[in-house]
Structure 1
Amino acid sequence: MALNAATRAAISLSKVQGVWLLLIAAVGLSTGLICTLLQDPIVARLAWTIATLPILGALLRQVFRSLRRGDFGLDIVAALSMAFALAFGEPLAANVVALMYAGGQMLEGYASRRAAREMTALMGRVAQTAFRYDKGGLQEVPITEIKAGDRLMVRQGEVIPVDGIVVTNQALLDESALTGEAIPRKHGVNDEVLSGSTSLAGVFDMRAIRPASESTYAAVIRLVKAAQESKAPMARLADRYGLMFLVVTVSLALAAWFVSSDPRRALAVLVIATPCPLILAVPVAIMSGISRCAAVGCLVKDGGVLEALSRVRVAVLDKTGTLTHGMATIVAIKCAEWIGEDELLRLAASLDQASGHVMAAALISAARERGLNLALPADVSEFPGEGIEGTVDQRHVVVGGSRFVERRVLKGSPRAFLSGRSAGEAVVAVAVDSVAAGLIVMADPVRPEAIGVLRRLRDAGIARIILASGDRLEVARGVGEALGIEEVLGEQSPASKVDCVNSARHFGPVMMVGDGINDAPALAAADVGVALGARGAAASSEAAGVVLLVDRLDPLAIALTAASRTIVIARQSVIVGLGLSMAGMVAAACGFLLPVQGALLQEVIDVAVILNALRALRPVGSESKSGHGVPILP
């Protein structure tokens, strides 16, 4: 969590001892007040003193550990105020400070844990063991022993331990921890399933495709840990200001004592500075903002990235897999009268089972979605980059580019079926028994949410949007025109995308959004790199500062708005809280506030600061409008 060392220690203290220390302080204060009413001031002062000592002792141990680490936190002020109150015969003030300090630390600990709820809940879903088929039987083994190729059994209610492929039965999975979708998803045989998902019905077998350390959920957990252990630049700035505030506080207290010769004025100055909004507002707000982003499927790696995200003014977007789905789909099937669309697709997909081409995978997937029964091909010959031919159900089938197929037909021409072609479309020609049978028109469609997301990015402060694609310029321009992006760059290599990011920085901080290995250098070069999908290329997820855990762009627009609002809330809390504290300290130095009154006033300020910082947890307006504010955790 983005908390300084002293604050982390205080939160740890509040978990273990906080309740008892708070009870001791409260019982002591109550006992003393009752004795005062019974006109027994000696017992009252003794009760207040005894109730203060345990809190002061625990706090001094904290301060000593912090000083050994070189952390001069404002907990020193709290220790000084309690110690001086006891030394100068103000046990009631000391007890009030102890009570308020113990209560404040518990409140801060609760706020921080509340802010981190979406982040830490991910950690509890890691599977520890799995059932692996071994020598004809099942054996429960640690997930660290699972290797690619191992066959596993997953029972109902179990979390999938590693990424894999379904090999038997149908899997019904709750993938909300990864995708944010509350509706369970069905997976058939040969479908890929991701670690971290939960099986909701029946038993199925799967084959591991990568070890646990390289699986999707392991990558997410690494990112979560990095986010929790990070420290934002704004939080580090708060540490420096905290030291300055400590010096100002002690100096003002000594000056008030020197001018008035009244040690109670110095004590009042110290107690009103205990603790300080500076060390409460920033970490709670930053962690709240990161948690808000995580709740909609956008994992921000650390507080520094969140701050950088709030300053972004230029967005460089990859096309394939980012603005489009990254997988070709069938737009149209144009076939001869003697063969139907389904039969043309079935023959082409059956032959393409012997090919590793990305277009072949798209044809096979489309055929299976239509429920077509694919046959095993025979006598297959593949010509890389051109096409493939072979025998399917005793028929000679040729699939590939128009020129490749045209050279192998005796009757007709694939070009006869081509009546027009839009930018970004590709055609797969098919011939059966040396006769041109038709064309399958395919395209990588623009994501349906892309136009709305780009509009919301502009609303969130993005002044310039650049489309940088590795595809041909005319294809990239077609997508740019469809989305209203004026600046389009095509045929971009990884090095060219880095140059694009560096050039765009002239207009302000740059955000690069991509999903492939070729995008990793540009993601690392940008002020903020955003990788689309934790199941995408590992290199892009590692290079990026932000990872979208859902296969949509919507969370990015929400995260931009949440980041900007979080920084505004943090600064607002610091400015207002410090202003009120300084005003109270001046009033105390001038004799207008007694030590007890100062302690009560400061606690009111601290509570207000924490509650204001927690506003960063609330859904932003665009979430409720878009309907994508569904938490990613069950």
Structure 2
Amino acid sequence: MRQQRERALFLATTVLLLAGLAVTAAGARQAAEVVWGAATLLGLLYSTASLITAARRREASVDVIAWLALVGALWVGEAFAGAMIAVMLASGVLLEARAAARARRELSALAARAPRTARRDTASGPVEVPVSEVTVGDRLVVGSGEIVPVDGRLLGPAVLDESALTGEPLPVERHAGEDVRSGVVNAGSPARLTATATAEASTYAGVVRLVEQAQAGSAPFVRIADRFAVAFVPVTLLLAGLAWAFTGDPVRAVAVLVVATPCPLLLAAPIAIMSGISRAARSGVIVKGGGALEQLAAGRVLLFDKTGTLTAGRPVLTDVVTPVEAHLPAAEVLRLAASLDQSSAHVLAGAIVTAAHDRALALTAPEEVHERHGYGLEGMVDGHRVRLGKAAWIVHGPLPGWVRHARRRPALDGSLSVFVAVDDVPAGVLLLEDPVRPQAPRMIRAMRAAGVTRVVLVTGDRAETAETVGRIVGVDAVHADCDPADKLSLVRAEQESAPTIMVGDGVNDAPALAAAGVGVALAARGATASAEAADVVLIVDRLDALADAILTARRCRTVAVGAVTVGMGLSAVAMLVAAAGYLPPAAGALLQEGIDVAAIAIALTALLPAPSHTVAMTPADVVTAQRLYAEHRDVRPLVEQVRTVADALNRAPYDLGPVRDLLEQLEARLLAHEQAEEAELLPIMARALGGVEATSGLSRTHAEIEHQIGRLRRTVDDLVQQVEPEDVTDVRRLLYGLYAILRLHNAQEEEGAFSLVPEPGTPGAGVSGLRHRG
């Protein structure tokens, strides 16, 4: 409504100005004066209404300058100057209205398609119900082209259009066991999922609430500009009065008023700030107002929560431990456990099901499933009774030695364990961990390059785990075992020395987020209390979006300052020239219009793409890197098998059969993969990162891996007779050494190479802001 009113004013005044020029060209000067006078009156009516509105709100307004200029133009007979002032006034308010509308449109588009209904999967077929009636654990059907109504976990593969949340235009393939967010569109065949959240707690409902909070408010710089503009009024009136008093010519006073309208202050600053909010929204970052954008630009100390921020926030299966005399192989233990976990909404269940699908295991539907809260899950799978959960629940009596050994590993690695019993016999232990995001170290370095001077890790996790993560990502300080009150105190202490940015994603982060200079919530997997308390919300699961948002915020502030400085500097010079009598009102009006347009044009450059932490790669390189990453993930279980085989060589009689089988796989699969990376991946990295020096470390470890596997082969081939304990010691030493090198090498590859590209099947969802070239 407001934009339509401003558009009508602009069109009317512009048409009258042009009509007056046409009439003048025809020689009817008197008629032109009447037409221009009408345009001046329209501007005067609008500015009068604006002043009355401001007075009712008890707000100071610089529209008084425009009002005096319009009145003065009519008084001294400068109708053309009055018409120009009216057009200038109309164009300014129209630009402001359109900029505000654009910022709102960018934000509101995220919530435009909130789902209203869901289809519950029942024995008699799908039944449509209001989305508010969906409960956790419901099985839902999402047809082709339908919107996913609530957050859930897929029961089968699906092709999804996630552009409403991520902005990526291409469909994404998701597998059974993966989480899916409400608001995305099913772009493939009908899909089934298990609800993991109610509609109120799901992603899209949270986005709607966030958008309601995220309207572009007044930023500190904008408020300063407003106050400066109000202070500019008496200065303008004094200069106009002096020009009149010393010369006795009221035309000079009107000329000063004409060029004094502080549009660069009133429009350029908020346009630049709102443009920054709009730009951030396009990349999946909701900034709740101009104040938040400016605080983001000013931030110098960065505080991070660990879980879900520097780490993935969801567990990943790292190994399956089975006894030496296992009656079931590790793959079968995982298959049975994942089949049972298909019916569970627990976060660990999703990780186990996903791991089974990644290993191409054929899952079957469980029967007679029962869950004991706090203990675990049990049911029938392919005629076997399978039980998952705590060791004390699945093992009756003293724990076997291999189970005690498996329990030590999570304590040392900071991981989680799920014990598996098949037909009441302990069959294996599933080890899961929350891995550090591969892009986290790169993102921390990018933050420092953007002006952050101190990075602090604040977590409720154990000190050993927190220190490990801190060393990996490169922080300045680590605070572990923190409860919400501790986090709040740390934020306040850091805030005393420099402006702070706090990043978190959990409910326990909400107080710290609210207390920080600017709180940033990661809400890609659902909007929580942290998102409600934060000033900035990331709805994409990419940490690089935060680094880019900081760059965008700082660029927009620089643009705003530049636009105001240029505009007001030119206006001040024009005022002095007008007071000296060298700039008549008509010419002053034309000049001021040019100044306003120039200042606003500078402000609108904030909408242009800002510098970002992207790596340019050709589409062909992306495809190759994705293929190699898929192979990299396929050989991960083989790396963990190196440790498992070494652990099994702990007592006589020593069987080197598993070692020889492992060697065959290492030579056939792992070495072939490492050689393909050396030949294909490292040249891609060198092109993307600017030289072979960026890849020399990885190339060296490729050579070392090949060397260690060769040593292992020669050692095992020599042991054709009876195996002595000393021989086994050599074999175990080589296996453990190879395992350590492989773990380090994989971590380096994931951080240095694979963090540059999206995972296969998820274009644009990469963790470091991939940008295609060519």
- TM surpasses 0.5: yes
Cα distance in 2 for residues equivalent to 1:185 and 1:583: 57
Answering whether residue 305 of structure 2 is matched by residue 318 of structure 1, we say yes
1:381/1:179 CA distance change after superposition, 3 Å: closer
Q: Which segment is superposed worse, 224-233 or 520-529?
A: 224-233
Corresponding residue to 1:348 among 337, 347, 360: 337
Determine the C-alpha separation between the residues in 1 that align with 2:67 and 2:433.
68
Matched, 1:180 2:167: yes
Amino acid paired to 1:147: E
Deviation at 1:198, TM superposition (A): 2.8
- 2:113 alignment partner, one of 120, 125, 132: 125
Match of 2:60 in 1: 72
The correspondence of residues 348-387 of structure 1 with structure 2, limited to 5 A, is 348-350=337-339, 358-369=347-358, 370-374=360-364, 376=366, 384=374
Structure 1 residue 210 displacement after superposition: 6.1
Corresponding residue SS for 1:330: strand
**C-alpha deviation, 1:576, in angstroms:** 2.2
In the alignment, the residues of structure 1 paired with residue 534 and residue 205 of structure 2 have an alpha-carbon distance, to the nearest angstrom, of 16
Among 45, 48, 64, the residue aligned to 1:60: 48
Instruction: Say which is worse superposed, 568-577 or 301-310, in terms of deviation.
Output: 568-577
Alignment of 1:26 with 2:18, yes or no, is yes
Report if aligned partners of 2:207, 2:527 keep a CA contact under 8 Å in 1.
no
Residues 476-485 or 400-409, more deviating: 400-409
The residue number in structure 2 matching 1:570 is: 560
Is contact 1:165–1:189 with CA below 8 Å preserved after alignment?
no
- Find the aligned partners of 2:60 and 2:35 in 1 and give their Cα distance: 31
CA contact (8 A) 2:338 2:363 kept: no
Q: Which moved more, 1:237-246 or 1:450-459?
A: 237-246
User: Are residues 1:13 and 2:13 paired?
Assistant: no
Q: Provide the secondary structure at the position in 1 that maps to 2:286.
A: strand
Q: Structure 1 residues 500, 372: CA separation in 2 closer, same or farther (over 3 Å shift)?
A: farther
Deviation digits for residues 273-298 of structure 1 (CA, Å, limit 9, x no counterpart): 23521101111011011111111111
Matched, 1:618 2:618: no
Q: Secondary structure at the match of 2:601?
A: helix
**Greater mean deviation of Cα atoms: 230-239 or 574-583:** 230-239
Contact 1:295 1:629 in 2 (8 A): no
Match of 1:148 in 2: 134
**Structure 2 counterpart of 1:559, which letter?**
A
Work out whether residues 492 and 515 of structure 2, in 8 Å CA contact, stay in contact via their aligned partners in 1: yes
The one-letter code sitting in structure 2 at the alignment partner of 1:610 is: I
Shift of residue 349, structure 1, vs aligned partner:
3.6
SS in 2 for 1:70: coil
Q: Please tell me whether the aligned partners of residues 530 and 544 of structure 1 are also in contact (alpha carbons under 8 angstroms).
A: yes
- 1:299/1:549 contact within 8 Å kept: yes
Q: Which consecutive residues of structure 1, in runs of 5 or more, have no partner in the other structure?
A: 1-7
Q: Contact 1:523–1:543 (CA<8 Å) still a contact in 2?
A: yes
Query: What SS does the corresponding residue of 1:228 show, helix, strand or coil?
Result: coil
Per the TM alignment, residue 343 of structure 1 is displaced from its structure 2 partner at its CA by 0.5
SS of residue paired to 1:531: strand
> Which deviates more, 68-77 or 519-528?
68-77
8 Å CA contact 2:206–2:527 kept in 1: the answer is no
Output the CA distance in 1 between the equivalents of 2:119 and 2:109.
Answer: 24
Find the residue that maps to 2:335 and give its secondary structure.
Answer: helix
Measure the CA separation in 1 of the matches of 2:158 and 2:9: 46
Deviation at 1:570, TM superposition (A): 1.2
* AA in 2 matched with 1:465: V
Q: 1:27·1:51 contact (CA, 8 Å) conserved in 2? A: no
CA gap 1:110/1:525 in 2 versus in 1, 3 angstroms:
closer
Residue 436 of structure 2: SS of its match in structure 1?
coil
Q: Which residue of 2 aligns with 1:92?
A: 80
Displacement after TM superposition at 1:598 (Å): 1.0
2:121–2:127 contact (8 Å) kept in structure 1: yes
Structure 1 position 512 matched with structure 2 position 502: yes
Structure 1: distance between partners of 2:542 and 2:447: 14
Deviations 1:125-170 (A, max 9, x none): 34567788999999999x6x7423498875544544x425479986
Task: Tell me the matched-pair count.
Answer: 615
Q: How far apart are residue 260 of structure 1 and its match?
A: 0.9
CA distance in 2, matches of 1:91, 1:189: 73
The TM-score, its normalising length taken from structure 2, stands at 0.71
Q: Residue 433 and residue 244 in structure 1: after superposition, are their counterparts in 2 closer, same or farther (change >3 A)?
A: same
Kept in 2, the 8 Å contact 1:410–1:435? The answer is: no
In structure 2, the residue matched to 1:4 is none
Contact (CA 8 Å) 1:411, 1:434: kept in 2 or not? no
Residue 90 of structure 2: aligned partner: 102
Query: 2:202 aligned with 1:218, yes or no?
Result: no
Q: Does 1:242 align with 2:229?
A: yes
> CA, structure 1 residues 590+127, in 2 after alignment: closer, same or farther (shift >3 Å)?
farther
Tell me whether 1:582 sits opposite 2:569 in the alignment: no
What is the percentage of aligned positions where both structures have the same residue? 43
1:290 aligns with 2:281: no
Q: Deviations over 1:470-522 (max 9, x none)?
A: 11111111111211224112211111111221222233112111111111121
CA distance in 2, matches of 1:596, 1:57: 20
Q: Whole-Å Cα distance in 1 between the matches of residues 124 and 368 of structure 2?
A: 33
Cα distance change of structure 1 residues 243 and 527 upon mapping to structure 2, 3 Å threshold: same
Match of 1:265 in 2: 252
> Structure 1 residues 211, 23: CA separation in 2 closer, same or farther (over 3 Å shift)?
farther
Distance 1:514 1:467 in 2: 11
Deviations 1:96-151 (A, max 9, x none): 2223333344344444444555224335434567788999999999x6x7423498
TM value normalised by structure 1: 0.86
Distance 2:426 2:157 in 1: 38
1:530-549 map, 5 Å: 530-536=520-526, 538-549=528-539
The answer to which structure, 1 or 2, has the higher relative contact order (CA under 8 A, 6+ apart) is 1
Greater CA deviation, 97-106 or 613-622?
A: 97-106
Q: Deviations over 1:412-462 (max 9, x none)?
A: 633467897763233444455676544433211111111111111111111
Amino acid corresponding to residue 617 of structure 1 in structure 2: L
- In structure 2, how many angstroms separate the alpha carbons of the residues matched to 1:555 and 1:225? 22
